[in-house]
Structure 1
């Protein structure tokens, strides 16, 4: 069973990826309810934390029912990373994770996220700064390399373990690929097979079904896997994968009632955490995902993304429940 510091994880844990504007406490709570074993906050700018930016501070909110949970930070400045690690330490997550994988231009331009893949020495210095700033286990999420011709994950993994990193998650794409093309897990398999490496190695990229999860588990021999986009609007994926691992059979698809319940919970928790107005507005990006593939849904979707009050939204969800009571998902 993989261990990160004192955190005992189940055999082959399923991790929820830290996703900007998605992996907030309401969403994490749903994923935990449906089988996620380890979760992370949205990534937080070290500079934002030090400046006391409200949005960055809010992302530090964690709750006991989520544990184990990690807070993920990013940045390109050693001093800022050390100071932000101290701030994170004070809210007592179970671990601190460093993002060296985000491919988005505004992050990369600051020499942070995947920008650091071009400079492994800097990556090591930033990581050391975080380790110095916290008493918690430090883990890293990164990519294979900057592009196809500069895949350097082998060197990165060894050097990070040597300075005290306690687990590594690798998104099996380069920065150049962004989120396109196929992920290539053979590179992660190679570092897992490196006898020098003893820290847990987790794979990430393209896991979107129980079949694929089992195939990759058997094929690449990693310690666990991280799931991102496939969980958006479908938190059931974690338990579905676990059930398939155990039995080789599929759990029944979530029914319309299940989806309505998840949507109601998500909306309620969103309003509880963010306040009613912001909770309602920020929930709008999720409705399409919960009801993906439902036929003749346009009119209902339009209502969900335009209604302004909680009462009206819950009423609209009740209507959907009535209209689609016998709807069969395929």
Structure 2
């Protein structure tokens, strides 16, 4: 299948294809991507994987590069600052099964930016161009780009970067509506995403603060973006993709999931995490997901303090099931919880 055909299939007319899962380090592993796709996400990009080949065979990197049984197309995100290392990393991921390679120029984390990777690359437009040209020419699959408005507020250079990306052969651009200086503070700005959409011909995916069906429609309408990308708001709330798709189709909001469905989704997610990571890592990685799923629920803080002390997967799943069963016995519902969850995710 040609590069254009792969991208064309991602941007067909179906509503689901407009809703993407953002790559989030430590979150968007194969179990999470699979779950989000089950709930209607049209595409998911992997966690970023370093281009440093000396770290490629570490346990963490091998988990991040595990695409076994994943719904196509498989998109692997790579991060680094050396064009040749990134090109080699792209070839490695294609050989590993990736059908799309995504370049990370958006991560604001200090440990990434200190290595002149992620959003720090936006300070050097010449290096941006060399990276894009080198990676695009290194592989026969589509290469996409995830980035931000710029490095510093008042010095946003996304319009030049976007044109450079298109000229380099980048097939789609995902744009977070903040600068690196913003980190995840302040409010995502959509005006420059709108401007980018006007000046380039490749698909644009809008990202940042999309945490409800109404916000999803608003961002699509305002920016005219080809798709939206959901990140933090889907943590502990994978049914958000179902809710957004339904709202975009009908203009109506779905009811919040019942407690019993939340319980079953979480227990299923835990089972996948345990199988994927094994006993030790599975138990520990699951803790943050359990915390996200239960945030805002009745007596959830007390429950989490107990849950954090559990050291094995069998007991962890058991205490989760017991907690939700107690909620069911006392007739607790989810309808008043979703607003609190969103506010907590986006303070």
Alpha-carbon shift at residue 132 of structure 1 (Å)? 2.5
1:33 aligns with 2:38: yes
**Contact preservation (8 Å) 2:31, 2:272:** yes
> Which of 225, 244, 247 is the equivalent residue of 2:247?
244
Alpha-carbon shift at residue 52 of structure 1 (Å)? 2.9
Alpha-carbon shift at residue 263 of structure 1 (Å)? 1.3
1:255 aligns with 2:252: no
1:266 aligns with 2:266: no
Alignment partner of 1:225: what SS?
A: strand
1:210 aligns with 2:213: yes
**Contact preservation (8 Å) 2:50, 2:56:** no
Name 1:283's counterpart in structure 2.
Answer: 286
Give me the whole-angstrom Cα distance separating, in 2, the residues matched to 1:294 and 1:300. 10
Alpha-carbon shift at residue 114 of structure 1 (Å)? 0.6
CA-to-aligned-CA distance 1:272-314 (integer Å, 9 cap, x gap): 1111221011111111210121122233222322222332223
1:98 aligns with 2:76: no
Name 2:339's counterpart in structure 1.
Answer: none
Give me the whole-angstrom Cα distance separating, in 2, the residues matched to 1:145 and 1:320. 44
Alignment partner of 2:144: what SS?
A: strand
Alpha-carbon shift at residue 94 of structure 1 (Å)? 2.0
Name 1:143's counterpart in structure 2.
Answer: 148
**Contact preservation (8 Å) 2:267, 2:321:** no
Alpha-carbon shift at residue 49 of structure 1 (Å)? 6.1
Give me the whole-angstrom Cα distance separating, in 1, the residues matched to 2:112 and 2:321. 41
Give me the whole-angstrom Cα distance separating, in 2, the residues matched to 1:48 and 1:261. 39
**Contact preservation (8 Å) 1:4, 1:200:** no
Q: In the superposition, relative to structure 1, how do residues 319 and 54 fare at CA in structure 2: closer, same or farther (>3 Å)?
A: closer
Alpha-carbon shift at residue 177 of structure 1 (Å)? 0.5
Give me the whole-angstrom Cα distance separating, in 2, the residues matched to 1:243 and 1:152. 36
**Contact preservation (8 Å) 2:30, 2:70:** no
Q: In the superposition, relative to structure 1, how do residues 173 and 136 fare at CA in structure 2: closer, same or farther (>3 Å)?
A: same
Give me the whole-angstrom Cα distance separating, in 2, the residues matched to 1:45 and 1:94. 18
Name 2:136's counterpart in structure 1.
Answer: 131
Give me the whole-angstrom Cα distance separating, in 2, the residues matched to 1:35 and 1:4. 23
**Contact preservation (8 Å) 2:74, 2:99:** yes
* Match runs of 1:155-194 below 5 Å: 155-194=160-199
Unaligned runs of 5+ in 1: none
Give me the whole-angstrom Cα distance separating, in 1, the residues matched to 2:176 and 2:54. 25
Alpha-carbon shift at residue 258 of structure 1 (Å)? 1.3
CA-to-aligned-CA distance 1:71-124 (integer Å, 9 cap, x gap): 000101112111111111101222000000111111111111111101111011
Give me the whole-angstrom Cα distance separating, in 2, the residues matched to 1:156 and 1:126. 12
1:113 aligns with 2:118: yes
* Match runs of 1:64-75 below 5 Å: 64-75=69-80
Alpha-carbon shift at residue 249 of structure 1 (Å)? 1.2
Give me the whole-angstrom Cα distance separating, in 1, the residues matched to 2:305 and 2:90. 42
> Which of 281, 296, 299 is the equivalent residue of 1:296?
299
Alignment partner of 2:75: what SS?
A: strand
Unaligned runs of 5+ in 2: 337-347
Alignment partner of 1:169: what SS?
A: strand
Give me the whole-angstrom Cα distance separating, in 1, the residues matched to 2:121 and 2:318. 48
Give me the whole-angstrom Cα distance separating, in 2, the residues matched to 1:304 and 1:321. 13
- Per the normalisation by structure 2, the TM-score is 0.90
